[in-house]
Amino acid sequence: MIQKNKWAWAWVPTLYFAQGLPYALVVTVSVIMYKRLGFSNSDLGLYTSLLYLPWVIKPLWSPFVDLKSTKRNWFLGMQLLASVALLAIGLSLPTNVFFVTSLACFWMVAFASATNDIATDGYYMIGLTEDRQSFFVGMRSVFYKLANVTGQGLLVVFAGFLENKYGDNTKAWSYTMICAGTLMLLMTLTNFFVTPKFESSEAITLEKPKGFLEVFVSFFKKPGMVMAITFILFFRLGESQLVKMASPFLLDPTSVGGLGYSTSEVGTIYGTIGVVFLTIGGILGGILISRDGLKKWMLPMLISLNAPNALYALLAITGNTEAWAVIGTVIIEQFGYGFGIAGFMVYLIYIAEGNSKTSHYALATGFMALGMMLPGLISGFMQEWLGYDGFFIWVVLAALPAFILLRYIEYPADFGKGKEK
């Protein structure tokens, strides 16, 4: 039997990169792609936010991931399915039915990605001890976000290069999505070789739920669960709207309140300096929680996640298109996200404690996805109604309920803290 924490430095980064890449492509890159193919902001907000649905309803099939086969088999199968669907998107774009076909394939990627999340997070929780889970939460967040930046950064830069080369956005994005599918396939193969097979141990087998309904009943019977779910739903209320409209804001011309940046420039901003500060923020967050416990850092991390909202509002109000201002905003946003989300993910791990960890974590992240999807659905309409300046002011205000709710949630002050030697 392979011991817990075995080879974690190898498989945590690759698993969470493979978890983050399809999510980034569905949630963020699809927005930029359809924007460059001529769709309106209201259509972008509506259709791409509906793609969140598999992450919202994934708890409905999460018990099957717990009950059937191993987490390793599940995530390898779903990563392969996502690879094939991404390749299909690239091949469908030059056709006359590209919108319906590509949207259907994005739905397939979303389903595979949501199921991959269940299996990957379950593997993480049963493969690491509690203190190592907290220590590596920064690392997993970094590689998850690095995958996001690879999607909305490097792949978007590549798409912009191809747009300029061919003068044909459809061809450019077709080639880009084929490359994305190929990259996902390479990550799947890497995970096949670096993830250890340790799920046959008796202790892990005993943690599996005894029945389908038991998973849901035991989750909702946990103390304080109503307040915990409310907090999860509101934690990212502001950020969930900002993330939908940030790229359109940078891409739209100044005549309509945008900043007028090109596709390549947007990709470069997110894919270079932003990566460095994202990495610093994520790793720092995990280390501090592992050292001091969750309680000390939860409020600073919530502030860190939401502070960049005000900077986007400032850019929109002043109309400042200077590179230093835009890059500075992205630096603070990326660092803030990496640092801030670390606390949230450790809190979700606490919510999932006990038997059926995989399914309970899927339930918690399902509510998180619902808190991302519902605000995202209206984000495009809100932006078109309020303009970019009014929209980002609204986003700042939308972050306030999470600060109020933070006072009422309960968790051990030292949860996630490394044990004394």
Confidence of residue 370 (pLDDT cuts 50, 70, 90): confident
Q: Enumerate helices (H) and strands (E) in the chain, giving the number of each.
A: 20, 0
Q: What is the C-alpha to C-alpha distance for residues 274 and 334, in angstroms, rounded to an integer?
A: 6
Residue-wise pLDDT tens digits, 175-193: 999 999 999 999 999 999 9
Is 418 within the bounds of a domain? no
Q: Which domain holds residue 395?
A: 8-406
pLDDT of 328 reads 93
Distance CA 359, CA 64 (A): 9
**Contacting residues for 22 by C-beta, under 8 A, at least 6 apart:** 82, 86, 109, 110, 112, 113, 116, 184
Residue with the larger pLDDT of the pair 383 and 202:
383
Residue 395 lies in a domain: yes
Task: For residue 23, count CB atoms less than 10 angstroms from its CB and return exposed for 0-12, middle for 13-18, buried for 19 or more.
Answer: buried
In a domain, 256, yes or no: yes
Cα torsion through 140, 145, 151, 152, rounded to 10? 180
HSE, CB side, 13 Å, CA atoms: give it for residue 68.
8
Largest CA distance in the chain: 64
Residue where the block lists tokens 């400032």: 314
- Helices 263-271 and 323-351: angle between axes, nearest 10 degrees: 60
**Assigned domain for 237 exists:** yes
pLDDT band at 269 (very low <50, low <70, confident <90, very high): confident
Helix axes 225-235, 237-251, angle to 10 degrees: 10
The residue-averaged pLDDT of 318-345 equals: 89
Q: What is the pLDDT of residues 112-158, one digit of tens each?
A: 999 999 899 888 888 777 677 777 777 787 788 788 778 877 898 89
35-80 residue pLDDT tens: 888 887 777 777 777 887 888 888 888 888 877 788 899 999 999 9
pLDDT over 70 at 248, yes or no: yes
Write the CA distances from 393 to 83, 253, 307, 310, 314, integer angstroms.
Answer: 38, 20, 12, 7, 9
Q: Report yes or no on whether pTM surpasses 0.85.
A: no
The count of structural domains within the chain is: 1
CA–CA distance, 370 with 377 (Å, rounded to integer): 11
CATH code, domain carrying 155 = 1.20.1250.20
Q: What percent of the chain has pLDDT over 70?
A: 94
Residue 210: the pLDDT is 59
Asked if the structure places residue 189 within a domain, the reply is yes
Look at residues 43, 13, 36 and name the one whose alpha carbon lies nearest to residue 383: 43
The answer to whether residue 160 sits within a structural domain is yes
Answer whether residue 359 is part of any domain.
yes
Q: Is residue 414 part of a domain?
A: no
Q: Residue 421: pLDDT above 50?
A: no
d(CA 24, CA 145): 9
pLDDT tens digit sequence for 275-284:
778 778 888 8
> Rounded to an integer, what distance in angstroms lies between the CA atom of residue 311 and that of residue 296?
26
Q: Could you say which DSSP state residue 284 is in? A: H
